[in-house]
Amino acid sequence: MPRTDTLARQESRLAYRLISPTLLIVLVVVVLPVIWTISLAFQDVRLINLRDAGFFGEYNLDNFSTVFGSSGFWSSLWITVVYTVGATLGSIAIGLVAALALRRPFRGRGLLRAAMLLPYVAPVVAATFVWSVALNPQFGIVNAWGTRFLGWDEPVPFLSQRDYSVGLFGVDVTVPLALLTVIAFEAWRYFPFAFLFLIARLQALPGELDEAAVVDGTSIWQRFRHITLPQLMPVIALLTILRFIFTFNKFDDVYLLTGGGAGTEVVSIRVYEFLTARTDIGAAAAQSLVLAAVLTVFIAVYLRTAGARGETS
């Protein structure tokens, strides 16, 4: 018995030694920066006195008062939520359609699957440049085709106009044009991410279920709704969480397309403005903590709701 205890202790010590480099890297790369950000959020730190800042300074809530009291904070938070929800749902929906379309084997399917990844693997600078040129109201191909073939009266400034009036069934409806354009770009750019997850799950589904459903005379929609979709829901739930987190923190896509103008100022862009334009590092850190707190609340609500649905089903 003592020999067994000694062997167990030796294995435990070896395990700690093996994981210690990883723990050290996580501590340096993740934990310390988070603690440093929290510390800066409660101090009056600007770029000019950053070298004097430390973990033990004069803590106060002035930065949070500045963040919550600044003009445009609540509107930017609402824009961030709308942008995140729209881009997340759009990317998953397009990825699902693409996965279903390329599920069955046919000539050239491998080439099409590879082409589906192009928006995701292309550099973000190149992708935003292509969209900016294509949507340009002066020489963009979208406006050229719209005015020539679709009957547009004048070019549409997709990336520079906040609101745009659209006639639907004789009623003029005002839509947030630039925000919808940025959401469309985000859905287009990241639908391959959802496509990869969904196509992998679809390939693992047993074909006997579909064959039995066909024999029973069910329609395509019935097979999708009652057979395919329930088996894809765990993957869709995971994609929803991942895409929501990634999109909620997005900065580069929106900034490169609109610079945060025309009603597309998400919270991450406000953090950048606090940091660069105002050189207020403390307020920028406080804004980032607010962003993380809001994201945590949304994820917790979603996980709780998804867990409750799983228990009831």
| pLDDT tens-digit series, residues 29-66 | 878 888 888 888 888 877 777 666 666 767 778 878 88
Q: What CATH number did the domain enclosing 184 receive?
A: 1.10.3720.10
Q: Is the dihedral of CA 229, 233, 234, 238 positive or negative?
A: positive
The Cα–Cα gap between 313 and 300 comes to 20
The neighbouring-strand residues paired with 176 are 163
| Same-domain status, 11 and 102 | no
Query: What mean pLDDT is predicted for residues 239-255?
Result: 88
Decide if 150 is inside a domain.
Answer: no
| Same-domain status, 31 and 66 | no
| Same-domain status, 103 and 14 | no
For the chain, give the mean pLDDT.
83
| pLDDT tens-digit series, residues 202-228 | 888 777 777 777 777 777 888 888 788
| Same-domain status, 6 and 104 | no
Read off the pTM: 0.82
Decide if 189 is inside a domain.
Answer: yes
- Percent of the chain exceeding pLDDT 70 equals 92
| Same-domain status, 186 and 89 | yes
What's the domain range around 34? 2-41
The predicted pLDDT at position 64 comes to 83
Decide if 274 is inside a domain.
Answer: yes
| pLDDT tens-digit series, residues 134-160 | 998 888 888 888 888 877 788 888 888
| Same-domain status, 217 and 246 | yes
Decide if 55 is inside a domain.
Answer: no
Count: domains in the chain: 2
* pLDDT category of residue 77 using cuts at 50, 70 and 90: confident
The amino acid sitting at 188 is: W
Decide if 166 is inside a domain.
Answer: no
